[in-house]
Amino acid sequence: IRTLKEEVQFMPSVLDKKVYIIDDVQRLSTGAFDALLKVLEEPPAHVVFVLCTTEKNKIPKTILSRTAVYNFGCICAEDIAAHLEKVCARYEITYDVEGLALIARNSQGAMRNALSMLEQISSAGDVTVKAVAEMLGVADCEKIASILDVMLATDEKETVSKLMELMDGGIEPASMISDMLDMLSDCIVVSYGGTISGTKESGGISRNSPLCIQHSGRHRRHFGRDGAFGYEAQPPDHVE
């Protein structure tokens, strides 16, 4: 920041403006923010600052109040998966659609993250759902669906067996719980006739899928015909 304060005083030698891009600006120290604030309070007319961050809440309000804030949303999983297909076709990478969908789902809406994961996996072989799941340390949709099936069938022994199998394979319990909640949420939406954005990465859930049909009655009892909790009889204890 000290060097920047000195350089901004000089006029650009070629173009009309000097553009300074500070990536991950939230990492600046308190002293660095104070120094930057002094520049932003009276910026030279020939200088433009672009401050990039994914954690706007960590930027001091004194800085935010002196900038124009542009919020960029996450890229939806379907668009990420579609772009990854184009990349694979261009570079002749062998892949399956489910594998790319799993990458897209775990990219947190960032194309850079998705491309980085694709590069890592493709360098070791084909981009299959199994390879992606192993690299990310997550369970594929079929395994998550099978666990939900035995759970709702109240087969405790088989449920524990499947959970231990995934944990022995290096899958974190928190990751399994998150994936199960996501799939159950998708089932509820589809059971009521809704659609899921990025259905492929949700395990190909459709209204007629066995898992969705199995859960449908329980969900309706839980939420009620009009979507209000408790409209009909409360669900069984094991569903709660």
pLDDT tens per residue, range 93-148: 999 998 998 899 889 889 999 999 999 999 989 999 889 988 888 777 778 888 88
**Which residue, chain included where needed, has tokens 């403006």?**
17
Residue showing tokens 């060097």 = 3
pLDDT score of 195: 60
CA 198 to chain centre: 12
Residues 194-200, mean pLDDT to the nearest whole number:
50
| pLDDT (average), residues 43-51 | 91
Over the chain, what is the mean pLDDT?
79
Average pLDDT over residues 176-205: 67
Give the list of residues 6+ apart from residue 77 with CB closer than 8 angstroms, or none: 101, 104, 105, 107, 109, 197, 198, 201
The rounded distance, in Å, linking the Cα atoms of 17 and 10 is: 11
The per-residue pLDDT for 37 is 92
pLDDT of residue 194: 63
Which pLDDT does position 2 carry in this prediction?
A: 82
Query: Cα(211)–Cα(199) distance, rounded to whole angstroms?
Result: 14
Beta bridge partners of 47: 18
Ranking 81-85, 92-96, 228-232 by mean pLDDT, the lowest is 228-232
pLDDT above 90 covers a percentage of the chain that reads 35
Handedness of CA 152, 154, 155, 161 (dihedral sign): positive
Q: Is the sign of the CA dihedral 52, 58, 61, 63 positive or negative?
A: negative
187 versus 33: the higher-pLDDT residue is 33
**pLDDT the model gives residue 141:** 75
